[in-house]
């Protein structure tokens, strides 16, 4: 984007400072220091390099900007307001207030122009790595000689806190390995965090650290010198094979006579008296929230943004003329739409699984489903945290992703993330936010603890991300309690807007994948077994997608009586329920077996459907090899579960030890009916 002509850089920077301190003061809450310290960095990037169009915040070919140190949210709010986005000054006055477009930390789809929800430090830079990866892979897939329709950059502001969080190591190491040359991070090196000067506890040589990752390192430069930051950004844009870190030395709270350079500027309002001194020192003679027309004119990006988008539209029209099928495919994928005919492909895959009735682990059932889906959906981008052979997330359509010395990708669609569960989860969030791909990645279920906050962020941001969690219970056996998931299914079900599936066989697994791929506004966790599970015969596949369904009535085991109780089971325990049903039938006791692969999906069904599956007057007994707490909400009279950690022993021994046998399930049902 062309440079702003002869801008008054001091005026532009001070407009950001004034809006930041005024909004924090009015809210009596927030972080004024970071925006005040990064104001000149923002002038250099947003005024001279960033390709964006305030009139169309979702323009596909825009540069992405991520404020990883999201506590400094008033920086991005000020920039969006000043450059011409639909963010009027009234919203800045309502900073951190109920239902405003300026929440305490930036939130995607709340504020126009915000690319990702940031606040948990380290995740913003990691999202940005995912965005830059998505851009690179889309460019490789869709660009043709003379038609580079995908050619944008990802810029990040980040601070000490982001670099202290371990996830930044995971993500930035990957960015170097992937040669993401269009990723540029600007490090606000102010040396201050909430507890004060960081030097007693943060002694990293950041430049050497990033050099070791395979990044370009530029600086340190004076972060308050717009020309110096501008030159550094120009240097970064010239990189052919490496991401770039620009180290910007700044003073937190720049402009505040008594708070600048101290932790006092970090997370509290400056106060009326100090703000008056800032205004005097900056020569800012305007009332709170008043910005002079000259500053608005210097910042206004609407004309240049519209021109940039118009030029791209013209280029894309030429691309569409030359490559109509590619153009249509690009537009479909960027809209997040599934191709015509996918519903039929998914239905056929489920029917095939039903007809074959194979006895396999559900992790293998997942791979079988993925074989069909990755072939049909080029947007599926898989991976695993160093457990590919265990998670089975690779398919014949998804060779391993690799990058040559020139930075070019080899066309692979399966990512070896290494032992980086948290980084993988947050990178997938960035890929989903960018658009063009549906990311999925695998690890053991017990390691969902490592990635939990990124899973939560995906749910908060309503992103279509699929987590493949295998080795879902004590059924993994000899590895012992460190790897045996007990509380994980229950804890994941507590995350709002996260779908959790624990399927029992190949058909349920295929349907779970179908629902996950179709979930455009929520992530999904698939909890899959290591051990083989026999196919559970079923009359129909119709209701599996509702999260729970009647799997077997008493008549199906030879008992012509109305059910006296309902056994609810998930995953590997469905077979226990079916065997217990047969034992009880032999004693004349009629029970219904309900398979509930997804409690979260079932909970969204109508009351009528729920009652058709779980009749109000029938006692309910749940069976799952995990903690019992989550099952009582279904009005269960008893739960066969596991409220302790496991042991190291073969799976069969453990299931018997902890009462996961048909005999024990049948005995529990009898006790309930005897009450």
Q: Token pair 């069969």 is at which residue?
A: 652
Contact 260, 254 (CB under 8 A): yes
Angle at alpha carbon of residue 486, lines to 514 and 362, rounded to 5°: 30
Distance of CA 236 to the CA centre of its chain: 27
Q: Token pair 């717009």 is at which residue?
A: 226
Residue 423 to residue 587: CA distance in whole angstroms:
53
Residue 299 to residue 79: CA distance in whole angstroms:
8
At 147 the three-state DSSP class reads strand
Contact 223, 40 (CB under 8 A): yes
Binding site per annotation, positions for thiamine diphosphate: 71, 119-121, 161, 190, 266, 447
Binding site per annotation, positions for Mg(2+): 160, 190, 192
Binding site per annotation, positions: 31, 71, 119-121, 160-161, 190, 192, 266, 363, 390, 447, 471, 479, 483, 530
Catalytic residue check, 268? no
Both tokens assigned to 498: 């996260």
Check the CA dihedral 4-7-10-13 and report its sign.
Answer: negative
Choose among 283, 626, 247, 640: nearest CA to 472.
626
End-to-end CA distance of the chain: 76
Residue 303 to residue 305: CA distance in whole angstroms:
5
Residue 529 to residue 444: CA distance in whole angstroms:
10
Binding site per annotation, positions for substrate: 31, 266, 363, 390, 471, 479, 483, 530
481 contact partners, CB below 8 Å, separation of at least 6: 645, 646, 647, 648
Burial class (CB in 10 A: 0-12, 13-18, 19+), 381: buried
Residues in the chain: 675
Residue 71 to residue 95: CA distance in whole angstroms:
12
Both tokens assigned to 307: 């021109």
Go through 469-484 and write b for each residue having 16 or more CB atoms within 10 A of its CB, e for each that does not: bbbbbbbbbeeeeebb
- Of 421, 508, 556, 624, which one is the catalytic site residue? 421
Both tokens assigned to 402: 């690799």
Residue 488 to residue 467: CA distance in whole angstroms:
13
Both tokens assigned to 139: 């460019």
Contact 88, 112 (CB under 8 A): no
Is beta strand 380-384 parallel, antiparallel or unpaired with respect to 438-444? parallel
Q: Token pair 């979930």 is at which residue?
A: 519
Contact 376, 395 (CB under 8 A): no
Residue 584 to residue 518: CA distance in whole angstroms:
39
Torsion of the alpha carbons at 193, 81, 65 and 442, rounded to the nearest 10:
80
Residues that are catalytic? 421
């Amino acid at each position: 984007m062309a440079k702003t002509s002869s801008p008054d850089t001091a005026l532009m920077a001070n407009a950001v400072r004034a809006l930041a301190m005024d909004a924090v003061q009015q809210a009596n809450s927030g972080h004024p220091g970071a925006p005040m310290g990064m104001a000149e960095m923002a002038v250099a990037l947003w005024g001279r390099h960033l390709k964006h169009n305030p009139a169309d915040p979702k323009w596909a070919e825009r540069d992405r900007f991520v404020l990883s140190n999201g506590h400094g949210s008033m920086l991005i709010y000020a920039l969006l307001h000043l450059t011409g986005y639909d963010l009027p000054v009234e919203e800045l006055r309502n900073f951190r207030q109920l239902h405003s477009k300026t929440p305490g930390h930036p939130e995607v789809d709340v504020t126009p122009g915000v690319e990702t929800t940031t606040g948990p430090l380290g995740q913003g830079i990691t999202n940005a790595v995912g965005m830059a990866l998505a851009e690179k892979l889309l460019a490789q897939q869709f660009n043709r000689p003379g038609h580079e329709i995908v050619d944008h950059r990802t810029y990040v502001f980040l601070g000490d806190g982001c670099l202290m969080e371990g996830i930044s190591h995971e993500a930035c190491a990957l960015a170097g390995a992937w040669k993401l040359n269009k990723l540029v991070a600007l490090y606000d090196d102010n040396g201050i965090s909430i507890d004060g000067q960081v030097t007693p506890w943060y002694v990293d040589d950041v430049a050497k650290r990033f050099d070791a990752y395979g990044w370009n390192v530029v600086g340190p430069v004076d972060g308050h010198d717009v020309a110096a930051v501008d030159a550094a950004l120009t240097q970064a844009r010239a990189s052919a094979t490496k991401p770039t870190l620009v180290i910007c030395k700044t003073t937190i709270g720049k402009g505040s006579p008594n708070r600048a350079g101290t932790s006092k500027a970090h997370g509290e309002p400056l106060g009326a008296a100090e703000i008056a001194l800032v205004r005097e020192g900056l020569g800012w003679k305007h009332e709170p929230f008043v910005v002079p027309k000259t500053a608005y004119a210097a910042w206004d990006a609407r004309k240049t943004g519209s021109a940039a988008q118009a030029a791209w539209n013209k280029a894309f029209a030429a691309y569409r003329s030359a490559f109509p099928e590619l153009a249509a495919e690009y537009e479909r994928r960027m809209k997040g739409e599934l191709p015509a005919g996918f519903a039929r492909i998914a239905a056929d895959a489920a029917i095939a699984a039903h007809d074959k009735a194979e006895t396999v682990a559900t992790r293998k059932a997942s791979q079988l489903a993925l074989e069909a889906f990755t072939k049909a959906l080029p947007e599926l981008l898989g991976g695993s945290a160093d457990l590919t052979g265990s998670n089975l997330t690779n398919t014949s359509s998804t060779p391993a992703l690799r990058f040559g010395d020139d930075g070019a990708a080899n066309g692979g669609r399966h990512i070896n993330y290494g032992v980086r569960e948290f980084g993988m989860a947050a990178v997938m969030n960035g890929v989903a936010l960018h658009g063009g791909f549906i990311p999925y990645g695998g690890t053991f279920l017990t390691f969902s603890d490592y990635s939990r906050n990124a899973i939560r962020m995906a749910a908060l941001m309503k992103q279509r991300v699929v987590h493949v969690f295998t080795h879902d219970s004590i059924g993994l056996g000899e590895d012992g309690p460190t790897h045996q998931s007990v509380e994980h299914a229950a804890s994941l079900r507590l995350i709002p807007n996260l779908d959790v599936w624990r399927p029992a066989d190949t058909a349920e697994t295929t349907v779970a994948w179908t629902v996950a791929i179709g979930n455009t506004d929520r992530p999904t966790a698939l909890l899959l077994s290591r051990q083989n599970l026999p196919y559970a015969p079923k009359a129909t596949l119709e209701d599996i997608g509702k999260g729970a369904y009647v799997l077997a009535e008493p008549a199906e085991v030879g008992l012509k009586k109305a059910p006296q109780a309902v056994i609810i089971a998930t995953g590997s325990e469905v077979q226990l329920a079916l065997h217990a049903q047969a034992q009880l039938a032999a004693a004349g006791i009629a029970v219904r077996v309900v398979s509930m692969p997804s409690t979260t999906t079932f909970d969204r069904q109508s009351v009528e459907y729920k009652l058709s599956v779980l009749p109000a007057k029938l006692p309910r007994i749940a069976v799952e090899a995990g903690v019992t707490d989550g099952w009582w909400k279904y009005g269960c009279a008893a739960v066969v579960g596991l409220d302790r950690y496991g042991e190291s022993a073969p799976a069969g021994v453990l299931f018997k030890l902890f009462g996961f046998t048909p005999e024990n399930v049948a005995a529990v049902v009898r006790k309930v009916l005897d009450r």
